[in-house]
Structures are given as structure tokens and as C-alpha cells.
């Protein structure tokens, strides 16, 4: 069983049902805890969104026999996206800024009644989290799935671990690293033809990239697998792979790698990337 996630950022609030709440805090910035999905049935208020700019984008409604909807709203706090049609389904997605969560609701296109609702972690590609609720066409709850069962060390704690371990803000796409100081021109006197210099710090900017996978070995051991670029530490094409126990967050494996390049055996000029282990900090206990 394997699910993969990469970095992308979002957040949302839904009615909570007493589930334990985890909050990411990094450098005095606190990000909202993982929301939960309530099991109440509901219906999409299409008229409300039409008043707010929802569009019917069919070129020939009489010919197709169904309505196709499109709606998008962006502001400083959140983004709402609605897409679908009256023949199949309509998908509602709600994301918030500075967050790692997205609410998704699927409605039956024919009667606009809820079909399913769930929570995504938005480190792309998205992973299901928390409670998922599924309904029949009458809006009756037919199934509930707990995607956090067996994962006590939560998704938010994994992201928080990355931030603290690497001293980065895990919700920002770039990181600035101080590389030293250099002489910088402060002023120039035209009369004396003299320049005044001072020492100022200089920085380099790196793209922040990491992925998180949800894995389970043959013995049933569940763990989070983290892969993160570490060029901001080494100035080389390096990355780390860590595995954290799903229940405790204990580090089960920690290995540093560097990508090497080798010419392809084909007639093209393509290069093949060959990862090489540089340092084993914690031997991999998930393979035992």
C-alpha cells in the first residue's frame, strides 16, 4: 500500500468532531490544525454561487441536455473552485492560504445532493486524511472511512518535523540562506572621488522541495517516507530520505544521497541520474 505526496500549500476549517488537533508552529507562526469532516448530509446551493459569478459554460445547452458549471473565487484568505455538470458530478474544492489542507466535496449533478466529502493534504499529489464520508443519492450516509487510523504521528507533525529538523518554513516555496559577507558600496563623494564601503551579508535563494509518502511494509509496519532536497545545505545536488514511524514519529531510517550523472547508453545526449548513498545516519529498520 503506497500513497505519495509532494509540496503544495492550503488550509480549511470544517466542523470538528472531537478529533485530536495538531498545529504546526514554526518561528512564532502558527498554522491551523487539521480540520475534520462532519457526517451531516447537505445540498449544493447552486443559486447562491450563481449570484456570485458561477457560470454555465455549455455552448449548446439544448443539444447536450445538461448544464456544465464553472466557478472560481480567490482572495487573500482562501480559494473556492467548483467544476462539473448536471449529468454526472460537481466537485467543490476549498483551500486556504498558508495551509496544508484542502476540503473536497462531490455532489450528484442531477439533484445537487452530497455524494462524498473528504480532506486532502495538499502536498502534491494529494493524500487523503481524516474522515471520509460517502452518501447515496438520497443523501443517506452509507460509508465512513478513517484515513488517519494507524497514523497517530499525524501529517501535520511530519510537516512540522521537516520545518524544525531542517530549520526551514515548510510552507514557503523558497528559502534564503546567508552565505557570508561582502564589501558593498554605501556612498560616493564626487568632490573627493572617494567611495565608502561596508561589509553586508549576502544570501542565495533555493527552491524548497520535499515529498512525503505514506508506506507500509510486508510486516504491516506503517511509516512516513520523507524525501527533501538539501542543496541549501550542501550547494550540491543532494537529498535526504527519512522514514518516521507512523505511531511515534521515531526515525526508522535516515540516509543522505547525492545525485550523480552518467551518459545514457542510447545514441542521444541524455544523462541518467544515479543516486548515490553518501552517509547512513540511521540504518533502515523498515526492511527488517
Query: Which of 36-50, 179-193, 227-241 is predicted with the least confidence, judged by mean pLDDT?
Result: 179-193
Say whether both 15 and 35 belong to one domain. Answer: yes
DSSP 75: -
Say whether both 32 and 126 belong to one domain. Answer: yes
Query: Tell me, what's the pLDDT at 124?
Result: 63
Say whether both 99 and 193 belong to one domain. Answer: no
Confirm whether 80 is domain-assigned.
yes
Q: What is the mean pLDDT of residues 56-63?
A: 72
Most confident range (mean pLDDT) of 1-10, 89-98, 181-190 is 89-98
- Number of domains the chain contains: 3
Say whether both 130 and 7 belong to one domain. Answer: yes
Which residues does 271 contact at the CB level (< 8 Å), separation at least 6?
261, 262, 263, 264
CA-based nearest residue to 123, from 176, 163, 87:
163
Q: What is the mean pLDDT of residues 42-52?
A: 92
Say whether both 136 and 88 belong to one domain. Answer: yes
DSSP tally for the chain: helices H, then strands E: 4, 18
Helix or strand or coil: residue 51?
helix
- Is the per-residue pLDDT at 176 higher than 80? yes
pTM of the predicted model over 0.85: no
Say whether both 27 and 65 belong to one domain. Answer: yes
Say whether both 186 and 231 belong to one domain. Answer: no
Task: Quick: pLDDT tens for 142-172.
Answer: 999 999 999 999 999 999 999 999 988 888 8
- Is the per-residue pLDDT at 54 higher than 80? yes
Mean pLDDT of the chain: 84
Confirm whether 136 is domain-assigned.
yes
Confirm whether 239 is domain-assigned.
yes
Band of residue 24 on the pLDDT scale cut at 50, 70, 90: low
Confirm whether 165 is domain-assigned.
no
Most confident range (mean pLDDT) of 62-76, 185-199, 235-249 is 235-249
- Is the per-residue pLDDT at 82 higher than 70? yes
Confirm whether 169 is domain-assigned.
no
Q: What is the mean pLDDT of residues 258-271?
A: 72
- DSSP codes joined into one string, 97-120: SS-BEEEEEEEETTT-BEEEEEEE
Confirm whether 266 is domain-assigned.
yes
Q: Is the dihedral of CA 76, 124, 11, 22 positive or negative?
A: negative
Say whether both 6 and 140 belong to one domain. Answer: yes
Note the residue count of the chain: 288
Say whether both 202 and 222 belong to one domain. Answer: no
Which residues does 159 contact at the CB level (< 8 Å), separation at least 6?
24, 100, 123, 170, 171, 212
Query: Tell me, what's the pLDDT at 188?
Result: 81
Using CA atoms, how far apart are residues 170 and 6, in angstroms rounded to an integer? 12
Say whether both 135 and 229 belong to one domain. Answer: no
Confirm whether 157 is domain-assigned.
no
Query: Tell me, what's the pLDDT at 10?
Result: 32
Say whether both 252 and 140 belong to one domain. Answer: no
Q: Rg of the chain's alpha carbons, rounded to an integer?
A: 25
Q: Specify whether the CB–CB gap between 130 and 156 falls below 8 A.
A: no
Say whether both 116 and 182 belong to one domain. Answer: no
Confirm whether 168 is domain-assigned.
no
Using CA atoms, how far apart are residues 134 and 245, in angstroms rounded to an integer? 30
Range of the domain at 64: 2-146
Which residues does 148 contact at the CB level (< 8 Å), separation at least 6?
19, 129, 130, 131, 154
Q: What is the mean pLDDT of residues 198-218?
A: 88
Q: What is the mean pLDDT of residues 111-125?
A: 89
Amino acid at each position: 500500500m503506497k500513497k505519495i505526496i509532494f509540496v503544495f500549500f492550503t488550509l480549511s476549517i470544517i466542523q470538528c468532531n472531537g478529533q485530536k488537533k495538531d498545529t504546526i508552529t514554526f518561528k512564532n507562526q502558527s498554522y491551523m490544525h487539521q480540520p475534520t469532516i462532519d457526517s451531516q448530509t447537505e445540498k449544493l446551493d447552486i443559486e447562491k454561487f450563481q449570484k456570485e459569478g458561477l457560470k454555465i459554460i455549455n455552448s449548446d445547452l439544448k443539444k447536450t441536455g445538461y448544464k456544465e458549471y464553472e466557478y472560481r473565487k480567490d482572495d487573500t484568505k482562501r480559494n473556492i473552485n467548483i467544476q462539473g455538470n448536471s449529468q454526472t458530478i460537481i466537485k467543490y474544492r476549498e483551500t486556504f492560504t498558508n495551509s496544508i489542507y484542502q476540503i473536497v466535496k462531490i455532489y450528484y449533478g442531477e439533484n445537487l445532493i452530497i455524494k462524498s466529502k473528504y480532506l486532502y493534504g495538499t502536498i502534491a499529489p494529494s493524500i487523503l486524511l481524516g474522515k471520509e464520508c460517502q452518501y447515496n443519492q438520497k443523501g443517506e450516509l452509507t460509508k465512513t472511512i478513517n484515513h488517519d487510523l494507524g497514523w497517530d504521528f499525524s501529517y501535520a507533525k511530519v510537516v512540522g518535523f521537516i520545518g524544525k529538523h531542517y530549520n526551514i518554513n515548510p510552507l514557503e516555496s523558497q528559502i534564503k540562506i546567508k552565505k557570508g559577507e561582502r564589501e558593498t558600496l554605501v556612498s560616493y563623494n564626487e568632490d573627493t572621488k572617494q567611495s565608502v564601503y561596508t561589509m553586508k551579508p549576502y544570501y542565495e535563494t533555493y527552491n524548497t522541495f520535499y515529498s512525503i509518502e505514506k508506506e507500509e511494509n510486508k510486516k504491516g509496519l506503517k511509516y512516513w517516507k520523507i524525501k527533501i532536497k538539501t542543496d541549501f545545505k550542501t550547494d550540491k545536488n543532494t537529498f535526504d530520505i527519512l522514514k518516521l514511524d507512523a505511531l511515534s514519529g521515531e526515525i526508522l531510517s535516515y540516509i543522505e544521497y547525492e545525485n550523480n550523472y552518467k551518459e545514457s547508453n542510447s545514441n542521444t545526449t541524455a544523462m541518467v541520474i544515479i543516486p548515490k548513498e553518501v552517509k547512513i545516519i540511521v540504518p533502515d529498520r523498515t526492511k527488517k
